[in-house]
Amino acid sequence: MTDEAQGWRRCSSCKNPIGFGALHWVCNVSTCNRPRTGLVFCSVSCWEAHVPVMRHRESWALEKSAPTQEEWARAGGAAAPSQRTPEAPSPASPRPLASARPADTLPLAPAARREAPNEILIVASKLKAYVRARSGMNTSDGVFDVLSDSVRALCDEAIRSAQRDGRKTVMERDIPRRR
């Protein structure tokens, strides 16, 4: 199928093609407009279908016009069918999923290189209530610093696990399980 038959992009809701230069709608919520997400809708009703799924509290549809084939090609989106050549370069290879470095030498992200604040990470009232309900015992205030240090160590290990997998999101599977 050619680009002309497929259109510029597909509707994020109904998957119908949106033609070059055609009107379409986008969500005003920033998470729907990020480059990786980039939701576009062929009609307001398709936009309305995504609102409950995305759980937007307050949002509206913005009317936009799709680029022409020439504008799209100039912006680097895709070459117009008449401008394609067989010797077009292949797309860049995807980044590797795993790092060749040992886990303990993986660098922290640039924003995380600063020293994280050494605050209490445990909700004191919740922990005290848990200990009292399980055992009838009281909890010393010194416990919270020690537990927070343990949580930081678990988080650091989970961060390294996510980095090894080439992800930027720490997931539950990255948290080491209790032995």
- pLDDT in the model for residue 96: 40
Reported confidence tier of residue 27, pLDDT bands at 50, 70, 90: confident
137 in the same domain as 67: no
Average model confidence (pLDDT) across the chain: 77
- pLDDT in the model for residue 115: 65
Domain assignment of residue 132, given as a range: 103-174
112 in the same domain as 59: no
- pLDDT in the model for residue 139: 93
Answer with the residue of higher pLDDT: 43 or 115: 43
Q: Is residue 139 in some structural domain?
A: yes
d(CA 163, CA 143): 30
Q: Is residue 92 in some structural domain?
A: no
71 in the same domain as 39: yes
Indicate the number of domains in the chain: 2
- What is the separation of C-alpha 96 from the centre of its chain, rounded to a whole number of angstroms? 18
Reported confidence tier of residue 89, pLDDT bands at 50, 70, 90: very low
Q: Which two tokens stand for residue 165?
A: 């997998």
113 in the same domain as 77: no
Strands of 56-108 (E only): list them.
61-65
CB 138 within 8 A of CB 128: yes
Answer with the residue of higher pLDDT: 16 or 99: 16
What value does the mean pLDDT take over residues 107-131? Answer: 76
CB 135 within 8 A of CB 144: no
- pLDDT in the model for residue 73: 85
Q: What tens digit of pLDDT does each residue of 128-149 get? A: 999 999 999 999 989 999 999 9
Of 52-56, 59-63, 145-149, the range with the lowest mean pLDDT is 52-56
| Percent of residues, the chain, with pLDDT higher than 70 | 74
Answer with the residue of higher pLDDT: 106 or 44: 44
Residue type at position 113: R
d(CA 35, CA 77): 12
Inter-axis angle of helices 124-135 and 142-164, nearest 10: 110
Answer with the residue of higher pLDDT: 24 or 92: 24
Q: Which two tokens stand for residue 174?
A: 């990255």
Q: Is the pLDDT of residue 26 over 70?
A: yes
Q: Is residue 89 in some structural domain?
A: no
62, β-bridge pairs? 26
Q: Is residue 113 in some structural domain?
A: yes
69 in the same domain as 38: yes
DSSP assigned state of 120? -
Answer with the residue of higher pLDDT: 143 or 73: 143
Answer with the residue of higher pLDDT: 48 or 90: 48
Q: Is the pLDDT of residue 94 over 50?
A: no
